[in-house]
Structure 1
Amino acid sequence: MEKGYIDNALMLKALSDPTRVKIFDMISYGELCACELLEQFNISQPTLSYHMKILSEANLINSRKDGKWMKYCLNKQSINMLRDFFDEIDNRGSF
Structure 2
Amino acid sequence: MSTVEIEKTAMLLKLLGDKTRLTMVKILDSHDCCVCEFVEMFKMSQPGVSQHVRKLKDVGIVSETRRGQWVIYSLNKQSEYYPFIQDLLNHLPSQDFKLLELEEQGLRISCD
- TM band (smaller chain): 0.7 to 0.9
Deviations 1:41-72 (A, max 9, x none): 11110000100011112321111222222211
Deviates more, 1:55-64 or 1:37-46: 55-64
Q: Which residue of 2 aligns with 1:21?
A: 22
User: In structure 2, what is the equivalent of residue 74 of structure 1?
Assistant: 75
Aligned pair in 2 of structure 1 residues 45, 10: CA closer, same or farther (>3 Å)? same
Q: Are 1:57 and 2:84 counterparts?
A: no
What CA distance in whole angstroms lies between the structure 1 residues aligned with 2:43 and 2:85?
Answer: 30
Tell me how large the CA RMSD over aligned residues is.
2.1
Asked if structure 2 preserves the Cα contact closer than 8 Å seen for 1:10 and 1:58, the reply is: no
SS of equivalent to 2:72: strand
Q: Secondary structure at the match of 2:60?
A: coil
Structure 1: gaps of 5 or more residues:
85-95
Name the TM-score, length of structure 1 as normaliser. Answer: 0.72
Are 2:50 and 1:33 equivalent residues in the alignment?
Answer: no
Q: Return 5+ residue gaps in structure 2 as ranges.
A: 88-112
**What is the percentage of aligned positions where both structures have the same residue?**
30
TM, length-normalised to structure 2: 0.63
Letter in 2 for 1:47: G
Alpha-carbon distance change, 22 to 82 in structure 1, aligned in 2, over 3 angstroms: closer
Number of aligned residue pairs = 84
Runs of at least 4 residues off by over 4 Å? 81-84
